Structure 1
Amino acid sequence: MTDVQHAPEPHAPGLASRLNWLRAGVLGANDGIVSVAALVVGVAAATTDAPTILIAGVASLLAGAVSMALGEYVSVSSQRDTEHALIAKERFELETMPEEELAELAEMYRGKGLAPDTARQVALELTAHDALAAHLEVELHISTDDVSNPWHAALASALSFTIGAVLPLLAVLLPPDEWRIPATFLAVLVALVITGWLSAFLGGSTKSRAIARVVIGGLLALGVTWAIGALIGTAV
């Protein structure tokens, strides 16, 4: 009977990074859903004037998207600067103390369970192939080809927030006056269930707990702003 050889499953470079961006996109969409829905529900509880609701919703969408983009840009720029500094430091150490770095790499492979001779041979071969890449991968868990991009982060964050924010904006504007708030609550509930499930799926956590967390938090935010809007609308 002939043994069947299975080719190793390919893993594209930067897979973990892309999963992190996808998870951040889901969370950004969740922020857009909750924040804009909470605002438009509050305004809709105070007034039935569609242009007023539209202006408030669009202003919230634009302000939130810009804020999310700026926040991600600043955060990821700091992360990128740190990664570049670590790469430069590792490159300098390889140039000035190659033997010490080789011994360090071999020791790290010994720590992973390889025999001393095997660990040194692996370190020698990896160093001959690409010493910097070997040290960055094992020691720092980063790659020169996968350094964070603040512009990508900013655009992804702004886009995901905008996509999430459009749903409650449409839900509050399209139905008749008496159905605006119930329709928005229903649309947000469905959207939060989806984003909660996706965040749990990407993070490998319990789906029911993640869904309950985002649904309860989102509906609580909507309830508070609806109550405030209703009180203000009645008072005025």
Structure 2
Amino acid sequence: MKQHIIVNSQIIDVLAVLMLMTTIILIGTSRLKTCIWASAIRSFLLTLTSGLIAYLSGIHHIYITTGISLVLKVFVIPGFLFYIVDKVRIKKEVESYISYTLSLLISCGIILIAYYATLPIIQFENVFMRHCLPVSLAITLLGFFAMITRKKAITQILGLITMEDGLFFAALSTSYGMPLIVELGVFFDILVSVIIMGVYVYRIKESFDSIDVGFFRELRE
């Protein structure tokens, strides 16, 4: 039984590392569609982790949130973002306020901060949380970093989804998920937010022939 737990813990650790790697790709790539694919793959890995935790814990409502997450964040939202990208005919790729090399260096610093910030906590927690909590915090912080350093509205949407993935993973690893009604509310909020932001992206493109959020300053004039 103990060997079985160790093996499953190692599988979860591998999935967590892969989620972190796809998030780093989101930070370090200059191709918009690659960013969307990276976000979709991370969300898929998260659903695999969620399903495994549901199986090991015997908490059935996690299966429901896993299924909803799979449909929304792996198929519906990426498909909607690909549609928006094709609809607005984006000519330039991802633009950042800082260089990609510096972004990757800062990302490494964020990961180290997340690890050392959670070190006093993970020493006393269960085997699944031991490595998942630092990764979930790092993913959340990297999502926030993407939101504040990227110019295009779509990459900021991806940053928002990344933050939600990190928070969902943190909830799974620390308390086997939030109450079902809370998780359903979060998923609904994310879906509505992405749709609204996608509409704004289209309107920005129509008005300014660009989706650089810096053009919002012109709306005050």
After TM superposition, the score normalised by the length of structure 1 is 0.30
Larger RCO (CA within 8 A; separation ≥ 6): 1
Structure index of larger Rg: 1
